Structure 1
């Protein structure tokens, strides 16, 4: 099929599982036709495109890098091909672009200018962990990274726990992988024993995936090792 001029939001695999277990064939058909991509990292974007199609002509692609080093005043110019009627893609490092991701900026610009935006189906660790947690999926909040300072982190955790109980809301957050075990220990020592905690780790990796929900009281004595593994944390207090 011939692509319409649009900004295609392209999910990227979140594990080393075969692409076709997480991404529809329709996504791959679209990716093969695009030649302009806004990405977080050019090297990993190239690798992903080659996984999608080993024969992909990388030399014909123009990449626009968007990360913490980018001059944000330049981002609007990235969309010039789209303004001229050429379809473009936005890719995250992993998961869905524009969700907890800098890709939200070009999407916002495109929407303000009335340019077409097309989100594609793919894995989101936030939603997948919520689905598997057993927690409230109708009221939830994603909070990104919590404070590093122990006292500030404990204060924030108690605040999230109170909001969860008061508003019947699942609270979701992440941590830098090498600090995951410390996060679980902090949760176990800070939250009420009856509050439930889910740790969802290595999502979509069939061999290593682990999604465990238990009351905090049980996490105090549980054996686990989540360090250096991508994980999502969810709490639910009733």
Structure 2
């Protein structure tokens, strides 16, 4: 039996931002919308988010089946406070691919942006390759790459380092480690934070980085109120810039 394909369907970047819904056709190519409309089997970081996306898709291109009839299964999450059972965990990832193994095309969707980039869906993509299922990435917004391109920092060498430690001493040590690495390799370092801690991260960066280090922040990308600012740490300190606590942001530094 011919296997189905796993389509990596991007999401918009407005999830969870009140009153900030964007025109889906402004951020997703028509081919992506049409592909999403025909898929009946989905793996999702968050089923509610994926169904919300499909409702918006349906308004542009009618779904192949009613929304409530679509199969949307969430990615497995490791149990909190317990060791991960790798056997059961792997079985759970592989079980999500059952539709593709049965010959059906299926979609993978993230809460925001590109699936499998700074996203747990990467493990499903890896399982698909192990099962010899064709993986088809599709174009859409990526906050990390959009922030990098808008930053004016080094786009030839860069690294995404995810979240920094929450505890102040460990966070300061990590920031200084990343700054030293950036200086040695002339490599842009990209990071994110939970929106309500945006201000705390900005304060930590301005307190820990050297004055001449360049810092770029992109906030609410693709949204009407979105912005990017790049300046030296000294310039950031003198500007007194504040950060919103409900809008996602990407931080980038270059020593």
Same fold (TM over 0.5): yes
Aligned twin of 1:82: 100
Q: How many residues align?
A: 233
Whether the 8 Å contact between 1:185 and 1:220 is mirrored in structure 2 is no
Whether the 8 Å contact between 1:67 and 1:102 is mirrored in structure 2 is no
Aligned twin of 1:39: 44
Aligned twin of 2:226: 209
- Give the whole-Å Cα distance in 1 for the aligned partners of 2:248 and 2:217: 10
SS at match of 1:98: coil
Aligned twin of 2:83: none
- Give the whole-Å Cα distance in 1 for the aligned partners of 2:197 and 2:39: 38
Residues 8-47 of structure 1 aligned to structure 2 (within 5 Å):
8-15=7-14, 16-47=21-52
- Structure 2: which 5+ residue stretches go unaligned? 15-20, 80-87
Shift of 1:221: 2.4
Q: Deviations over 1:4-47 (max 9, x none)?
A: 92100000000221011110000011111100000011112111
SS at match of 1:220: helix
SS at match of 1:165: helix
In the alignment, is residue 219 of structure 1 matched against residue 249 of structure 2? no
Partner of residue 68 from structure 1, selected from 65, 70, 77? 77
Shift of 1:157: 0.3
Q: Give the TM-score of the pair, scaled to structure 2.
A: 0.88
Q: CA RMSD in A?
A: 1.4
- Give the whole-Å Cα distance in 2 for the aligned partners of 1:58 and 1:155: 48
Q: Give the TM-score of the pair, scaled to structure 1.
A: 0.94
- Give the whole-Å Cα distance in 2 for the aligned partners of 1:31 and 1:62: 13
In the alignment, is residue 49 of structure 1 matched against residue 67 of structure 2? no
Whether the 8 Å contact between 2:47 and 2:72 is mirrored in structure 1 is yes
- Give the whole-Å Cα distance in 2 for the aligned partners of 1:198 and 1:68: 32
Question: Does 214-223 or 120-129 show the bigger shift?
Answer: 214-223
Shift of 1:224: 2.0
Q: Deviations over 1:172-203 (max 9, x none)?
A: 00011011111111111100000000010000
Whether the 8 Å contact between 2:4 and 2:99 is mirrored in structure 1 is no
SS at match of 1:106: helix
- Give the whole-Å Cα distance in 2 for the aligned partners of 1:49 and 1:152: 41
Partner of residue 169 from structure 1, selected from 187, 204, 209? 187
Shift of 1:59: 2.3
Aligned twin of 2:205: 187
In the alignment, is residue 142 of structure 1 matched against residue 142 of structure 2? no
- Structure 1: which 5+ residue stretches go unaligned? none
SS at match of 1:159: helix
SS at match of 1:144: coil
